[in-house]
Amino acid sequence: MSYLHQTAPIASSARVMRSVSLACLPGIAAQTWYFGAGVITNVLTGILCCCLVEALMLAARSRPLRPTLADGSAMLTGILLGAALPAGTSVWLILIGAVAAIAVAKHLYGGLGHNIFNPAMVGYAMLLVSFPVPMSLWPDATGFGAGDVQNLWQGWLGQLDASTLDAVSGATPLDALRQPAGASVIGDANLSSPWAIISLAWLAGGLVLLAQRLIDWRLPLAMLSTMAVLAALLNQVSGTGSVAFHLFNGATIMGAFFIITDPVSAPGHRRARWVFGAAIGVLVMLIRGYGGYPDAIAFAVLLMNLSAPLLDQLCSGTHRSATDAPRGNS
């Protein structure tokens, strides 16, 4: 977050939140097409849990409920959290993630506009660290209607046992990268694989946001170009996957357009934003190539959120902020 700015006015942030939420729809639709109705339950449960925790925290802090709930920031956090989780995550995990995101990362730091960290990514990282097994169980990308209603309901309640989950789940390409036999997966990085289609759908939503000037083009451009250069380099050095593989797998595109562009937890200055995006790209590539977790967007974003005030301060001596930059998305 940039300490140099005041918080966004509520009216405009509500409009931004609505637009960003709408721009998530293509990505969510594509994800649902491949991973089934579990994606929709994820997103709906995420919205429900986040709004519930937001209301409870507002009541506990004796703040008025209506204006803050109506600005849609909790809803957007819920959408992003739900879309980032493996399809068909149980309601208990989503609730824990919502508490981490809204109660801890947002309200304990002072509410919207004062949060140092991106709330949705705090919720995701907390769940990934706490429950590594269910968090890595993505269902097979066999298409819509793969899981029947009974399984979906039991999975939502968290009552599916591990063997059933194993039977319906498949390794994501980024998981396969961890395995010695993953080289074949890296080889066929074409733009018609499920993950690439999903990434293209998120890209479409992101481009709409860019066209509406709701997000700063510097952030995704810095992150994606850094990742492309590093992916090409690291692929030569240690064979960690091609440029297209890394750009169109996992949460790269979603992260570049919907996560790191959060104006509260990203720096405010133009030059700081270039550094911010590029550093996230570097961290993502390093953690993907050499780290212990398959995808790295959440950790990279959180690490750079920490550095955002410093980046702003270092750049503020020479450069005033990007005052035209939109603010208020979460």
Partner 1 sequence: MNDDSHSSSDSSSNSSLTRQQARQIAANGLWSNNPALVQLLGLCPLLAVSGTIVNGLGLGLATLAVMLGANGCASMIRGHIRPEIRLPAFVMIIAALVTCTELAMAAMAYELYQVLGIFLPLIVTNCAILARVEAFASRQPLAPSLLDALMNGLGFTLVLIVIGALREALGQGTLFDGMELLLGSGAADWVIQLPGERHMLFMALPPGAFLITGLLIAGKNAIDDHIARRRPASQPPSEQRRVRVTGTIH
DSSP letter for 99, please. Answer: I
Instruction: Name which of 259, 249, 261, 253 is nearest 217 in CA terms.
Output: 261
Nearest approach in angstroms of CB 109 to partner 1 is 12
DSSP H or E segment with residue 34: helix 25-35
Q: What's the one-letter identity of residue 258?
A: F
Q: How far apart are CA 225 and CA 234, in angstroms?
A: 14
Given the complex with partner 1, which of 134 and 155 has the nearer CB atom?
134
Nearest approach in angstroms of CB 90 to partner 1 is 10
- Helices 119-130 and 297-316 pack at an angle, to 10 degrees, of 140
Nearest approach in angstroms of CB 125 to partner 1 is 9
Number of H helices, E strands in the chain: 18, 0
Angle at 120 between CA 116 and CA 122, to 5 degrees: 60
Contacts of 247 (CB under 8 A, 6+ apart): 199, 224, 227, 228, 231, 253
Given the complex with partner 1, which of 159 and 190 has the nearer CB atom?
159
Instruction: Assign 36 to helix, strand or coil.
Output: coil
Given the complex with partner 1, which of 162 and 183 has the nearer CB atom?
162
Given the complex with partner 1, which of 96 and 244 has the nearer CB atom?
96
Nearest approach in angstroms of CB 121 to partner 1 is 14
DSSP 210-235: HHTT-S-THHHHHHHHHHHHHHHHHH
Given the complex with partner 1, which of 12 and 159 has the nearer CB atom?
159
Given the complex with partner 1, which of 133 and 237 has the nearer CB atom?
133
Nearest approach in angstroms of CB 96 to partner 1 is 7
**Is residue 313 packed enough to be buried (19+ CB in 10 Å), middle (13-18) or exposed (0-12)?**
middle
Given the complex with partner 1, which of 96 and 204 has the nearer CB atom?
96
Rg, Å, the chain Cα set: 19
Binding footprint of partner 1 on the chain (CB under 8 A)? 96, 104, 126, 129-134
Q: What's the one-letter identity of residue 21?
A: S
Nearest approach in angstroms of CB 126 to partner 1 is 6
Give the phi and the psi of residue 169 in degrees, each rounded to 5. Answer: -100, 150
Given the complex with partner 1, which of 132 and 239 has the nearer CB atom?
132
Nearest approach in angstroms of CB 137 to partner 1 is 12
Instruction: Name which of 120, 118, 128, 1 is nearest 50 in CA terms.
Output: 120
Nearest approach in angstroms of CB 189 to partner 1 is 32
